Amino acid sequence: MNAHAHAEEHFAGSNRLFTFIWIWLVVLTLIEILLAYRPMSTVLMLTILLGLSIIKAALIVAYFMHLKFERLSLILTIVPMLVVCICLLFVFFPDSFRSAGLRYQFKQPPPVAPPPVEEF
Amino acid sequence: MWLFIVSDSLTFSALLIGYSYLRASNVWPTPFPFYPSIVFASVMTFCLLSSSLTMVFGVSASSKGDKAKARKWIFATIVFGTAFIVLHLIEWNHLMHQGLRPFYLPQTWVEVFTTTDGVPPSPLFGATFFTITGLHMFHVATGVIYLAVVALRVKKLKHEDVEISGLYWHFVDLVWMFVFPLIYIMSVDVGGHLPH
């Protein structure tokens, strides 16, 4: 992406390195699939899964997309801004938990049997 | 291309965060069985990861001026990308056969996932599922066409053009690295509650 003066300029990183990264990505994916069948709380599972996904994303961006070998100014232009914007999107999240609470508050009570009618 | 990738990452982040928002504020069904859903999704993940590897080999060959080899690797990438789309469409077809629609859940899902207090699962499951995976599949399909054009014209193109098409393809792979765990792994039917 940066100014490659010649088409023959060496594309940093050997095929061996890329295969090694690919093996890591496959292993991390297998760990994710195994995690799905482990009994654990949703929050813990979500945290581990997101952690693994961020590691995988970082590997792809750094090696496959070659960002690790680009100049620092490009990295600083792209990454911090993206991270800040995505964090800002989470501003809405407390509202989600609030609306979850509202829903249960107005829930219909479960139906009960009518009281026996007393005649005479 | 980097700017496009940044803006497209924000699109997908917004969609995934919107999905998480709905999921946190509703009773959410967890319907995916090991077979076919998880097996298919895992094989699809493998296809995309491998396609990224073949793409990076293609870009590497192109940087050394070996256009014929670059074309061969890009064709391999296209094959993996097409396999992804085909598998994904089979998986969609399976879910639609069960009765999943963008705004309705299959009747059996509603029965199984209604809580003991009588709160039914959210019908928005289908909307989020088809929107997010559909938009991603559209990106893969666009990428396949883009790569086909690059592969066919590779002799006339500069190395930089090949490298940029590689960036787009890796981005599609990257998005799936978040879609797969959040949509599929988080919604596995662990106890096997649903009849399949």
Question: What pLDDT does residue A113 have?
Answer: 63
Whole-structure pTM value: 0.87
Q: Which two tokens stand for residue A29?
A: 């994916």
Number of domains forming the structure of chain A? 1
Report CB contact under 8 Å: B63, A9. Answer: yes
Question: What pLDDT does residue A120 have?
Answer: 62
Are B105 and B28 in contact, with CB atoms under 8 Å apart? no
Residue B93 to residue A76: CA distance in whole angstroms = 43
User: In this predicted complex, what is the ipTM?
Assistant: 0.90
Distance from CA of B103 to the nearest CA of A (A): 19
Residues B118-170: pLDDT tens digits? 788 888 999 999 999 999 999 999 999 999 999 999 999 999 999 999 999 99
Q: How many A-B residue pairs are in contact by the CB < 8 A criterion?
A: 151
In a domain, A17, yes or no: yes
In a domain, A47, yes or no: yes
Look at residue A3 and tell me whether its pLDDT is greater than 50.
no
Question: What pLDDT does residue B196 have?
Answer: 62
Q: Give CATH superfamily name and number for B2-21+33-187.
A: Cytochrome c oxidase, subunit III, four-helix bundle (1.20.120.80)
- CB distance from B4 to chain A under 8 Å? no
Question: What pLDDT does residue A108 have?
Answer: 54
Question: What pLDDT does residue B185 have?
Answer: 92
Question: Which residues in chain B have their CB less than 8 angstroms from residue A88's CB?
Answer: none
In a domain, A80, yes or no: no
Domain that holds residue A24: 7-75
Residues A68-119: pLDDT tens digits? 888 899 999 999 999 999 999 999 888 888 877 776 544 555 555 666 776 6
In a domain, A112, yes or no: no
Question: What pLDDT does residue B146 have?
Answer: 97
* B11 CB neighbour count, 10 Å cutoff: 12
- CB distance from A23 to chain B under 8 Å? no
- Indicate the average pLDDT of chain A: 82
Question: What pLDDT does residue A107 have?
Answer: 53
In a domain, A44, yes or no: yes
Residues B21-76: pLDDT tens digits? 999 888 899 899 888 899 999 999 999 999 999 999 999 999 999 999 999 999 99
Question: What pLDDT does residue B104 have?
Answer: 87
Domain boundaries, chain B: 2-21+33-187
Are B154 and B71 in contact, with CB atoms under 8 Å apart? yes
Question: Which among A21, A47, A19, A17 has a CA at the least distance from the CA of A35?
Answer: A47
Question: Which among B102, B146, B143 has a CA at the least distance from the CA of B125?
Answer: B102
Amino acid at B9: S
In a domain, A81, yes or no: no
Look at residue A6 and tell me whether its pLDDT is greater than 60.
no
Q: Which two tokens stand for residue B93?
A: 């077809």
Angle among Cα B30, B34, B39 to the nearest 5 degrees reads 120
Which of A10, A64, A95 has the CB atom closest to B52's CB atom?
A: A64
Question: What pLDDT does residue A119 have?
Answer: 65
The residue among B52, B124, B183 with the most chain A CBs within 10 A of its CB, best to mutate, is B52
- CB distance from B192 to chain A under 8 Å? no
Report CB contact under 8 Å: A7, B65. Answer: yes
The residue among B172, B185, B189 with the most chain A CBs within 10 A of its CB, best to mutate, is B185
In a domain, A101, yes or no: no
In a domain, A69, yes or no: yes
